[in-house]
Amino acid sequence: MEILFISHKYPPSTGGMEKQSYELINGMKAYTKVHTIVYDGKQSRLRFFLTLDRRISKYRKANPGISVIHYNDALMATFCLMHKGHKELKRVVTVHGLDIVFPLSFYQKNILPRFNKYDLIIAVSQATADACVTRGINRKKVVVINNGVDINISTKSDRKSVDELLTFKYNINTKNKQILVALGRPVKRKGYSWFIRNVSPKLDKNFITLLIGPVNTEKRRIMDLLPDQLTHHLELLLGLPSDERTIDKMLTSMWISDKVVRTGKLTFNEITEIMSVADAFVMPNIEVEGDMEGFGLVCLEAVLSGAKVFAAASGGIIDAIQSGKNGWLLTSGDHKEWIRKINSISSHDYESELPTYQRIKYTVENFSWKKMVKQYFECFEGL
């Protein structure tokens, strides 16, 4: 068996999908012969897509042993539905969540049901798999393989060093505070504005929440000039910070400015250092129509950094966090439950119930890249 991987999400670009694609392709080399057509940023993305059919044919002619083609997401699979050839090969698609629920009516009604022409659909979570079936994809063609995580995350620090880092480099005073961390782009489904409005004011006064992630208002001003419907679609498609304006407006209020701070973008080492001493990592996702969290990779990274994880039982997060094993799932949108659980951190009940080493051990055993790649190979082999 020889496999041709086709991906437009690949290094040098960075992100969860790029990392997953990289680990899958390179890990698969341990099992079988691998060929790749990946977008490396050296040409326009449009040209990459328009020349793809010809490049696939060229690869197949030079490598007649290719028997499986893998497309890295639903956008790639949608475009490749137009290709006339290659139907005698086994064709596999990985879907990640938003690429399935994207709320464009024509896409939902006319494109996704045509995915039944493919031999296998690999969903990164059970929620993503359910979304596929709901949209007319044959349940028998859908399997779930969770994404992996870098199990070697081990940066450690001490509280004094982290306080000094935040004070002197970022002008954030965390001394004698209990630190909560939230990480990621401020898109609506992440629930940051919901958390600031409904949870933060009722937390014990010594809690401070650090919102770690890029701050960008320029794109937001441009989007404000467009119609609401178009703005919503573009925000989802481009991953733009749809919650940014609401968050910034809240943080100008005196009643919350000492409880929640936006740090801006930090380095990966700085993030893991902060995580290792934080009192908890929070991922308070809320339900947003036409959007979903396909998996919960950032939760797993937080676990491996040593943080206690409190995450909303929403979308693919349910696959990543197992309550009582590597973190705790809380009801999405239930502010009373979130307030009660976070305020109880001071009693150390969670630490005694589930020690850090056990949370890390469970995550390492269940979410390594090696395990993910092996499951993919078994699926390819089964075809």
The string of pLDDT tens digits covering residues 64-85 is 999 999 999 999 999 999 998 8
- Is residue 48 located within the same domain as residue 170? no
- Is residue 302 located within the same domain as residue 193? yes
- Collapse the DSSP code of 322 into the 3-class scheme (helix H, G, I; strand E, B; otherwise coil) and give the result: coil
- Is residue 359 located within the same domain as residue 330? yes
- Is residue 180 located within the same domain as residue 322? yes
pLDDT band at 147 (very low <50, low <70, confident <90, very high): very high
Rounded Cα gap, residues 102 and 286, in angstroms: 16
- Is residue 188 located within the same domain as residue 279? yes
Global confidence as pTM: 0.90
Query: Which residue stretches of 89-147 are H helix?
Result: 98-101, 105-106, 126-134
Which of 16-20, 123-127, 252-256, 359-363 shows the lowest per-residue confidence on average (mean pLDDT)? 252-256
Taken as a whole, the chain contains a residue count of: 383
pLDDT of 3 > 80? The answer is yes
| Domain-embedded: residue 343 | yes
Rounded Cα gap, residues 149 and 300, in angstroms: 7
- Is residue 166 located within the same domain as residue 281? yes
| Domain-embedded: residue 255 | yes
**Residue 315: which of 145, 129, 144, 171 has the closest Cα?**
129
Region of 306 on the Ramachandran plot (φ > 0 left; ψ -120 to 50 alpha; else beta):
left
Rounded Cα gap, residues 252 and 187, in angstroms: 19
- Enclosing domain of residue 100: 2-147+368-382
- Collapse the DSSP code of 252 into the 3-class scheme (helix H, G, I; strand E, B; otherwise coil) and give the result: coil
- Is residue 126 located within the same domain as residue 203? no
pLDDT of residue 173: 93
| Domain-embedded: residue 74 | yes
Give per-residue pLDDT as tens, 241-297.
Answer: 678 888 988 888 767 778 999 999 899 899 999 999 999 999 999 998 888 999 999
- Is residue 139 located within the same domain as residue 244? no
pLDDT band at 223 (very low <50, low <70, confident <90, very high): low
Angle at 262 between CA 245 and CA 195, to 5 degrees: 70
**Sheet strands side by side (includes 66-71):** 33-38, 2-7, 66-71, 90-95, 120-123, 142-144
CATH of the domain at 57: 3.40.50.2000
| Domain-embedded: residue 227 | yes
Give per-residue pLDDT as tens, 171-220.
Answer: 999 999 999 999 988 889 999 999 999 999 999 989 999 999 888 755 55
Number of domains in the chain: 2
| Domain-embedded: residue 98 | yes
Rounded Cα gap, residues 372 and 369, in angstroms: 5
pLDDT of 235 > 70? The answer is no
- Is residue 195 located within the same domain as residue 100? no
| Domain-embedded: residue 154 | no
Q: Is the dihedral of CA 246, 249, 255, 257 positive or negative?
A: positive
- Is residue 87 located within the same domain as residue 178? no
- Is residue 110 located within the same domain as residue 125? yes
pLDDT of residue 227: 58
